[in-house]
Each structure stands twice: as structure tokens, then as C-alpha cells.
Amino acid sequence: MPLKSDTCRWGILSTAGIAKKNWRAISRSTQGIVSAVASRDAASAQRFIDECQANCPFESAPVALGSYQALLESKDIDAVYIPLPTGLRKEWIIAAAKHGKHILAEKPAALTAADVQEILDVCKTHGVQFMDGVMFMHSRRLEQLRQTLDSPTGIGSIKRIATQFSFYSDQEFRTTNIRSNSKYEPHGALGDLGWYTIRMILWINQWRMPTQISARCISTLQGQGSPKSVPMEFSAELQFDNGVSASFYCSFATEHQQWCHISGEKGSIWIDDFVLPCFGSNVGYDLNRPEFVTDVCDFHMHRRSQRFSVAEYDSGHAPSQEITMFDTFHGLLKGSTPDESWGRMTLQTQQVLDRVFQAAGCSL
């Protein structure tokens, strides 16, 4: 279902904080505008619009709607951005697809891989594009990184991938944030942060799926009103049939870290900000090929590092990764049929998430 005009009219389904970042991204994309924002309370939607419009205005202010259904029924909306909690997401993604709306949804897309498959089937039936909101997939850095990984002068055959994404949560977060409530976010840190580490591992290893998995839920938290506890710290080990092994750690208990280390037979690559690029106008990574030199009694390890970078803002200005995400999405809508590869990436990520969750003895 391609766009009928050069402008993609977006509806935002909920007033979640991350939607403010994507409001700006849509406004600075080449073809997008926000036409409506929906909340369960129209006044809440209007407050969200007023705040965002004051910071990053559209020529015409979006309409505030008091129900999600009203937004989906609007004929003035081509695509919807859905940052609702994971526990609610499947219902509204499917509803959006049935109303013929293209969909960009936050992650995880649903509670299980079976749910994601159902979502993708409905999207295919109704001819709408689906994509999850993993912004780093749209960074120009990945194109450069793939070239380095494939280069004969790079790190050689990959043997090991290790990655971590974490932040330290305060007591208020641990008691009142929806990510501490199993009704809305039953995967806790695994869903919120581990999704990115799993996605990065799969991308690096060319979308191979792990053949062996072990996992551990290291600690948990249980917010006010939460039926069950959810993972606060989680780690996993993955083994692949091409000889690559991988590990990840995600956590609400250790302060900001978002690194990825790729080890090969000839060297390694270090990325210290693979999810949210650090402030600046360049993003990159380090190729490390240390050299151990000995001469009789002299023993020295030489660093031998090379920095690779691309011109890309961390956020808010083109070509930052979130703006490129919307430009990519808009480009997909020019095709005669949806690009199903984006949905397959979501499904594979969810399949691994399901497996490590179960391997750690966790359940929904």
C-alpha cells in the first residue's frame, strides 16, 4: 500500500517520553509530518503536542485525540508510531494494520515470537510496512563497520562477540516505572536493553541463529502493583554453528554502558556507544591489532589502533540515526509491496529473546 503523496502523515499512539525524540526525527526527515497524537486522555495528548510544538514546531499543529481507536480510524494518517508498553503493543499493532496504517513500533514488538509472527502475518495480509524502532540499524556507521569486518585487512574471522547495555536505576524507577512492572514489561532489562545487544550480535554474525544458549537472571526487581518480578540484571551466552560465540549483559543496576567488542583471529573492534551515539558530529569505532614485540630481554606490547568514523550527528540533526530511520521508512513506502526483511529482523531478535528468557528459568 504505497503512499499516495510525497508526505507521510504520522500518528503517534501514546505520549511516551521516547515519542518526543521521534517527533523531532519526523520533523527533520525529508517526507514526514506528525498529524495527530492520541492518548487515553485528550488533555494529555494536547499537553504533549504543546510541549513538542514549542520545542520543534510543525507548520500546522497536530490534532490531539482522546483514544487510540480515533487515531486509527482517521483518514488523515498514513503511518503510526507505537511506543506503547510491550504488554499492550500487539493489540494495537494488529489494529493499526487492519486499518491500513504502516507501522513503526518500539521494541520488543510483542511478548513472544508467536505474537510477532501473528503481527507480521496481519501486516502482510493488509499490505502494510512494519519496522521496529531500533535506531542504530539505520546508522551509517554500520555500513562502514561491515566493510571493515569483510576486509582482508580487518580482524580476520570473527570468533567472539561481547556486548553490554546498562544504566543505573534509582529507587523511584524501581518502584514506579513501567519497566519494573510485569504486567507491562515482563522482560524487564532484557526487553528494554537486551533487545539491542541481541540485535547487534545477530547483525554482526550475518543473522545466523544460535545453536546453543545458556542464560542467567542475575537479579530482579518488582515495582508497585507488579504481579511478578522482572529481570534487573541478565546475562547470556550464545554459540553459533560457524564457530562464533557471543555473550551479553543488560542491567538496570550498572551505570551507562553500551559497548560492543568483536574479536577476530587478527584483531578486534571496539565500539563504546553502539546504541546511543555520544554527543558530537561523528560516530565510529576502533580497530585494534596489537603487536607483541620481543628483543632478547625487551618485551613490549604495541597498541596499533586505527579509528574509523563517519560524519553523523548523535541526535536531532540529519543525518542522525533516528532521522535516517524515518527517511528509510518513508522510502519503503514508495515500493509496490512492503519490505518484509525488517519484520524478519524483529522476529529473529524476539526468537532469541524468548530462548534466553526461558533458559534463565523466567516465564511470563
State residue 117's pLDDT score: 98
Q: Which amino acid is at 77?
A: I
Q: In this structure, are 183 and 290 located in the same domain?
A: yes
Question: How many domains are contained in the chain?
Answer: 2
**102 is a domain residue:** yes
Other Cβ atoms within 10 Å of 201 Cβ, number: 25
Strands 32-38 and 63-65: parallel
Compute the distance between CA of residue 105 and CA of residue 113 in angstroms, rounded to an integer.
15
Compute the distance between CA of residue 207 and CA of residue 32 in angstroms, rounded to an integer.
30
> Could you say which of 108, 136, 164 is where a domain stops?
136
The CA-based diameter of the chain, rounded to the nearest angstrom, is 79
Q: In this structure, are 178 and 302 located in the same domain?
A: yes
State residue 4's pLDDT score: 80
Task: Write out the three cell numbers for 30.
Answer: 525529508
Sequence-distant contacts of 41-46: CB under 8 A, at least 24 apart:
41/66, 42/66, 44/15, 45/15
The pTM (predicted TM-score) of the whole model is 0.97
**325 is a domain residue:** no
- For residue range 224-240, list pLDDT tens digits in order: 999 999 999 999 999 99
Q: In this structure, are 56 and 146 located in the same domain?
A: no
Task: Write out the three cell numbers for 10.
Answer: 504520522
Compute the distance between CA of residue 318 and CA of residue 4 in angstroms, rounded to an integer.
25
Answer whether residue 330 shows pLDDT above 80: yes
- For residue range 16-31, list pLDDT tens digits in order: 999 999 999 999 999 9
- For residue range 123-167, list pLDDT tens digits in order: 999 999 999 999 999 999 999 999 999 999 999 999 999 999 999
Compute the distance between CA of residue 217 and CA of residue 233 in angstroms, rounded to an integer.
6
Q: In this structure, are 151 and 298 located in the same domain?
A: yes
Share of the chain above pLDDT 90, in %: 98
**256 is a domain residue:** yes
Domain that holds residue 272: 140-276+278-311
315, 359 in Cβ contact below 8 A? no
Q: In this structure, are 187 and 114 located in the same domain?
A: no
Averaged over 190-203, what is the pLDDT?
Answer: 98
Q: In this structure, are 158 and 289 located in the same domain?
A: yes
Task: Write out the three cell numbers for 213.
Answer: 544458549
Q: In this structure, are 157 and 299 located in the same domain?
A: yes
**346 is a domain residue:** no
State residue 40's pLDDT score: 94
Answer whether residue 1 shows pLDDT above 80: no
What pLDDT band is residue 336 in, cutting at 50, 70 and 90? confident
Q: In this structure, are 183 and 305 located in the same domain?
A: yes
Question: What burial class does residue 196 get, using C-beta atoms within 10 Å of its C-beta: 0-12 exposed, 13-18 middle, 19+ buried?
Answer: buried
Q: In this structure, are 82 and 102 located in the same domain?
A: yes
Q: In this structure, are 299 and 162 located in the same domain?
A: yes
Q: In this structure, are 125 and 153 located in the same domain?
A: no
Give the 3-state secondary structure of residue 238: strand
Among 257, 236, 231, which Cα is nearest to 165's? 257
Q: In this structure, are 100 and 148 located in the same domain?
A: no
